[in-house]
């Protein structure tokens, strides 16, 4: 689960991590009041969406000026910029072309930046350890730094038995070229951020930029925290920070029905029981030249209702041109699954080719039910056959379109 920047900063502040003072605002009036409360002469108005790249982002509405992060010098300008951002759509490298509507802004006291650095903490699956990453190339995406100048990324893997020790933090501080009091400030920052990571069951804590100010303080100017969904039950206050407006509506509905669903870019909808089988199914679709539209694990006890919900979710995606159902009937019997598929296909008024591969207990009875249903279901005998059939179905669809336009073309002559 993701949260907004201002929420991440609030959590980090609670762990003693240095962050600038700020207030969230939902209206331009609230933004102006926030600026007055904060005092000072320089403020930063920051669009709050669950995506990075806001500073370099653009609002779909041209009138709205440059960027989703703006430094301003009067309370009046805070209100005006907040008014422009609120309910406008911000497009960044991370939002995709459709962008995200800004529904809240964060008003922060301005900060005199001396250096912009990068600090990240994440779980490195290769070492199964929390790894602290730091770089002098703050402000830009770490993926870009990794691709262009990998030697500029410092990595320290933390042994879970000892946890992060001050010497780890100092090692990073020296690596970042910090001097004098900055070293102590950075050490405290890193130790506290690590404690937040562990105690909050985070999967990513990213501070980009981490800045050194003109007065030598080390402060988080941006903050992103991702949480391990499987540990959220231990943190009701964090669960309460969930902003459903920022989440994929299909994934949200799937979660409510206990379905494990992730949208992807392809055109072949997949419905599979078991995460491993779902991944194998996506792999084989790609092997046959197709592209999956989603990952979907309906779980072990796929009831008729669950199957129907899964179908609706897949079909709501306009990219889907064919569906592959790949179910292994172990504890579940294939005949029960076939009945679920047939009734779901009827309920949802299926309009794209449906390929079903069943294997396991009562498989013949299951196939018989599919045949007798009268629905145009393509039955497959094994995984490769299923992939072949569903990819061919999508191709045939593509060819039909091509033929139509070619016919129109020749007809015009």
Residues with catalytic roles: 118, 206
Q: Which residue, 354, 342, 358, 277, is CA-closest to 314?
A: 354
Of all residues in this chain, which one has the CB nearest to ligand GDP in the complex? 55
Which of Mn ion, ligand GDP, none sits in contact with 113, Cβ below 5 to 8 A by type?
Answer: ligand GDP
Pick between residue 221 and residue 313 the one whose CB is nearest to ligand GDP. 221
The burial of 102, by beta-carbon neighbours within 10 Å (0-12 exposed, 13-18 middle, 19 or more buried), is given as buried
| Residue with smaller CB distance to ligand GDP, 144 or 347 | 144
Candidates 12, 30, 34, 52: give the one binding ligand GDP (CB under 6 A): 52
208 near Mn ion, rule: CB under 5 A: yes
Joined together, the tokens standing for residue 50 give: 């669950």
The residues near 82 (Cβ < 8 Å, ≥ 6 apart) are 25, 27, 28, 31, 32, 45, 105, 107
Separate counts of helices (H) and strands (E) for the chain: 13, 19
Q: Which of 139, 154, 235, 264 binds ligand GDP (CB under 6 A)?
A: 139
Of residues 214 and 331, the one with the C-beta less far from ligand GDP:
214
Q: Can you read off the two tokens belonging to residue 13?
A: 């502040």
Q: List 116's β-bridge partners, or say none.
A: 211
Binding mask 189-208 for ligand GDP (x = CB under 6 A): -------------------x
Distances (CA, A) of 263 to 10, 128, 249, 267: 31, 27, 10, 11
Name which of residues 360 to 379 contact ligand GDP (CB under 6 A). none
Does residue 116 have a cis bond before it (omega within 30 degrees)? no
Q: Tokens in use for 278?
A: 């779902």
Q: Which of 54, 100, 168, 367 binds ligand GDP (CB under 6 A)?
A: 54
247 is in an annotated binding site: no
In 3-state terms the chain splits into helix, strand, coil percentages (rounded to 5) of 40, 25, 35
- Among residue numbers 296 through 315, which ones bind ligand GDP (CB under 6 A)? none
Report how far residue 48's alpha carbon sits from residue 6's, in angstroms, rounded to the nearest whole number.
8
Q: Which is nearer to ligand GDP, 97 or 318 (CB)?
A: 97
Q: Taking a C-beta distance cutoff of 8 angstroms, is the pair 314, 390 a contact?
A: no
Q: Which of 121, 132, 191, 221: binder of ligand GDP (CB under 6 A)?
A: 221
Element (H, E) at 364: helix 363-372
79 known member of a binding site: no
**Is 55 assigned to a binding site?**
yes
Tokens of 147: 């691709």
- With binding defined as CB under 6 A, does residue 22 bind ligand GDP? no
Q: In terms of CB distance, is 120 or 353 closer to ligand GDP?
A: 120
Helix (H, G, I), strand (E, B), or coil: what is residue 400? helix
The nearest distance, CB 108 to ligand GDP, in angstroms, is: 6
The window from 59-67, 218-226, 246-254, 315-323 that contacts Mn ion (CB under 5 A) reads 218-226
Q: Is 44 in the site for ligand GDP (CB under 6 A)?
A: yes
Dihedral sign (CA 46, 52, 55, 58): negative
Q: How far is the CB of 123 from ligand GDP (least distance, A)?
A: 22
Buried b (16+ CB within 10 A) or exposed e, 264-291: bebbbbbbbbbeebbeebbebbeebebe
Question: What's the min distance (Å) between Cβ of 68 and ligand GDP?
Answer: 7
Q: What's the min distance (Å) between Cβ of 267 and Mn ion?
A: 34
Identity of the residue, 208 or 213, whose beta carbon is nearer to Mn ion in the bound complex: 208
Binding region: 46, 53-55, 108, 111, 116, 208, 222, 273, 330-332
Interacting residues with ligand GDP (CB under 6 A) = 44, 46, 52-55, 69, 71, 108, 110-111, 113, 116, 139, 208-209, 221-222
Binding residues for ATP: 46, 53-55, 108, 111, 116
């Amino acid at each position: 689960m993701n949260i907004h920047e201002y929420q991440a900063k609030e959590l980090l502040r609670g762990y003693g991590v240095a962050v600038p003072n700020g207030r969230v605002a939902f209206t331009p009036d609230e933004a102006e009041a926030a600026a007055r409360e904060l005092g000072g002469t320089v403020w930063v108005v920051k669009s709050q969406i669950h995506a990075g790249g806001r500073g370099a982002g653009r609002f779909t509405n041209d009138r709205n000026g440059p960027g989703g992060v703006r430094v301003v010098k009067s309370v009046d300008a805070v209100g005006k910029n907040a008014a422009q951002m609120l309910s406008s759509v911000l497009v960044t490298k991370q939002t995709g072309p459709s962008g995200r509507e800004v529904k809240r802004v964060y008003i922060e006291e301005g900060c005199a930046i001396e250096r912009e650095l990068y600090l990240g903490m994440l779980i490195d699956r290769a070492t199964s350890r929390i790894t602290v990453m730091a770089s002098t190339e703050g402000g830009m995406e770490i993926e870009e730094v990794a691709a262009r100048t990998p030697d500029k990324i410092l990595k320290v893997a933390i042994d879970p038995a000892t946890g992060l020790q001050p010497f780890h933090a100092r090692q990073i501080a020296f690596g970042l070229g910090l001097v004098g009091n900055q070293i102590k400030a950075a050490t405290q920052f890193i130790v506290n951020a690590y404690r937040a990571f562990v105690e909050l069951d985070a999967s990513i804590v990213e501070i980009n930029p981490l800045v050194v100010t003109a007065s030598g303080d080390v402060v988080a100017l941006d903050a992103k925290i991702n949480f391990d969904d499987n540990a959220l039950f231990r943190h009701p206050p964090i669960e309460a920070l969930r902003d459903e407006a920022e989440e994929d509506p299909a994934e949200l509905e799937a979660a409510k029905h206990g379905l494990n669903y992730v949208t992807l870019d392809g055109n072949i909808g997949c419905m599979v029981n078991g995460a491993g089988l779902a991944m194998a199914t996506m792999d084989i679709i790609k092997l046959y030249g197709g592209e999956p539209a989603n990952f979907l694990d309906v779980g072990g006890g796929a009831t008729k209702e669950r199957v129907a919900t899964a179908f609706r979710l897949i079909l709501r995606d306009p990219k889907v041109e064919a569906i592959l159902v790949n179910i292994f009937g172990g504890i579940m019997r294939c005949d029960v699954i076939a009945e679920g598929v047939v009734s779901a296909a009827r309920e949802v008024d299926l309009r794209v080719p449906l390929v079903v591969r069943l294997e396991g207990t009562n498989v013949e009875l299951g196939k018989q039910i599919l045949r007798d249903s009268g629905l145009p279901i393509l039955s497959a005998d094994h995984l490769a056959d299923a992939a072949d059939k569903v990819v061919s179905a999508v191709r045939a669809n593509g060819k039909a379109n091509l033929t139509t336009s070619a016919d129109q073309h020749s007809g015009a002559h």
